[in-house]
Amino acid sequence: MVTTLSPTPNEEQMAMIRQSAHDFAEAKIRPNVMDWDEREHFPRELFSEMGEYGFMGVLVPEEYGGTGLGYAEYITIIDEISQVCGSIGLSVAAHNSLCTNHILMFGSEAQKKKYLPKLATGEHVGAWGLTEPNTGSDAGRMRTVAEKQEDGSYILNGAKNFITHGLSGEVAVVIVRTGELLDSHGMTAFIVERSDKGFRGGKKEQKLGMRASETAELVFEDCHLPADRVLGEVGEGFVQSMKILDGGRISIAALSLGIARGAFNAALAYSKEREQFGKAISKFQAISFKLADMATELEAAELLVREAGRLKDAHLPVTKVSAMAKLYASEVAVRCANEGVQIFGGYGFTKEFPAEKYYRDCKLLTIGEGTSEIQKLVISRALLK
């Protein structure tokens, strides 16, 4: 049953949300982390269970089956889950902030009523497609096209890649070209259902990290979509995507925070237990200074991520701050994971301890939903306006 909480929870309610996410992660995720990682297994059944806890529709209003909470609570949930497993945190983030949020922000009332309840409860898992094989940051050159038919419907042809839940997602929001190449008003968002003829999942990627989060192609071969699958207005797809990515950056920043915190907590605990030369290695300045740097950067990252969430909840401009949060938190996660391996020493290079998985998972954070270099471009443009 979905827990109903106030849209602006007090400290006690926030603590309850954190504890709920923490307990779920410890009980349902931690025992399976390395098994899922080794097998590159996407545990689809887990997401239905998370739907019962309200984790799959955090931002969705109660009238559509969600918990009706805000980014403050959403950041907390992603943080707690990602401390245990970045793969599951990534999938929860992509489902909530991309596919589900796109329909919530730009869908018609009929579309919201049709798709959001199943997405919010985890009955359906969502995918979101912008990236293509030869267009990463350069989305304006996308080749996937939708041609309008005489009856108002559309025929889609092309492919998207690096798509979270590309094989398992029951619903996908995809942005495709309906106008001229490089025209920012030449792209449109569509809702695609797994059962649509001409739509299928393609190659599943074998990855360095985040291996339990499914990443695959979306392939369209004369995929016929009725006119009511258009999200918003024709030609709005690129503009919509940029607004969706503002929230997506907060998601990845929260994911980064969780992975960084998980790496730090593991290193801290190990440094207190591991002895060399007759004392715990945490007593050596070389180790204690590493821990001090990690803890300081974690605090700074969380303040920036929380500020981005506050602005988003207040419906204030967030593009610059969300890019800053994503940039800084992702780079902090990489540094914390790296130092975590160093503190574990030889054991940090083995799968017996968690340090190596944080190390493998963290690198995606500086790449997905806009590389660190793209975040700097977004930030500098905002500064120089």
- pLDDT > 60? residue 6: no
- pLDDT > 70? residue 65: yes
**Is-contact 91 72, C-beta < 8 A?**
no
The reported pTM is: 0.95
> What fold characterizes domain 127-237?
Butyryl-CoA Dehydrogenase, subunit A; domain 2 (2.40.110)
Structure tokens at 83: 């401390």
Instruction: Name residue 220's amino acid.
Output: F
pLDDT at position 9 is 57
> pLDDT tens digits, residue range 269-298?
999 999 999 999 999 999 999 999 999 999
pLDDT at position 7 is 45
Structure tokens at 344: 């574990």
Show the DSSP H helices in the chain as ranges.
11-24, 33-39, 44-52, 71-84, 86-94, 101-106, 109-120, 237-273, 285-313, 319-344, 355-362, 372-383
> pLDDT tens digits, residue range 153-163?
999 999 999 99
Structure tokens at 166: 């590309």
Kindly report the CA angle at 211 between 269 and 165, in degrees rounded to 5? 130
- pLDDT > 90? residue 183: no
Which of 132, 214, 339, 369 is flagged as catalytic? 369
Please indicate whether residue 369 is annotated as part of the active site.
yes
**Is-contact 60 116, C-beta < 8 A?**
yes
In this prediction, residues 59-83 reach a mean pLDDT of 97
Task: Please identify, in words, the CATH class of the domain defined by 239-383.
Answer: mainly alpha
Q: Which of 114, 75, 123 is nearest to 97 (CA)?
A: 75
Q: Which of 270, 260, 284 is nearest to 344 (CA)?
A: 270
CATH numeric code, 11-125? 1.10.540.10
- pLDDT over 70 percentage in the chain: 98
Environment class of residue 286 by beta-carbon count within 10 Å: exposed (0-12), middle (13-18) or buried (19+)?
A: exposed
**Is-contact 190 145, C-beta < 8 A?**
no
Name the residue ranges covered by the structural domains of the chain: 11-125, 127-237, 239-383
pLDDT at position 4 is 41
Least confident of 108-122, 174-188, 264-278: 174-188
Instruction: Name residue 65's amino acid.
Output: G
